[in-house]
Amino acid sequence: MIEMIKIKKKTTTIVVRSKSQNKVSIINTRLAEFKKRERERLLVSSTFNIVAFSFMLCLTFQ
C-alpha cells in the first residue's frame, strides 16, 4: 500500500513517503546518474575518435 501524508503549515508542504516510493526515487536517481555518466563517456569517446581521425588524415597527406 502506498501512503502519503501531507502536513501543511502556511506555505510549507512536508511530504512523507512510503518505503516503496523511496525505492522508486532512489532507482530514478541512480538511473539519472547512470545516464549522465553514459553521456559523458560518449562525449569523451567521440571527441577522441575525431582527434584520432584528424591525426590519421594529417599523417596520410604528408
Q: Is residue 36 part of a domain?
A: yes
Q: Is residue 22 part of a domain?
A: yes
Average pLDDT value over all residues in the chain: 78
Q: Which residue has the higher pLDDT, 7 or 18?
A: 18
Domain count along the chain: 1
In this prediction, residue 26 carries a pLDDT of 80
Q: Is residue 41 part of a domain?
A: yes
Q: Is residue 3 part of a domain?
A: no
Domain that holds residue 34: 9-61
Give the residue-averaged pLDDT of 35-56.
Answer: 93
Q: Quote the radius of gyration of the chain (alpha carbons, Å).
A: 24
Q: What is the dihedral of CA 47, 52, 57, 59, to 10 degrees?
A: 150
In this prediction, residue 19 carries a pLDDT of 72
pTM of the model: 0.53
Q: Is residue 4 part of a domain?
A: no
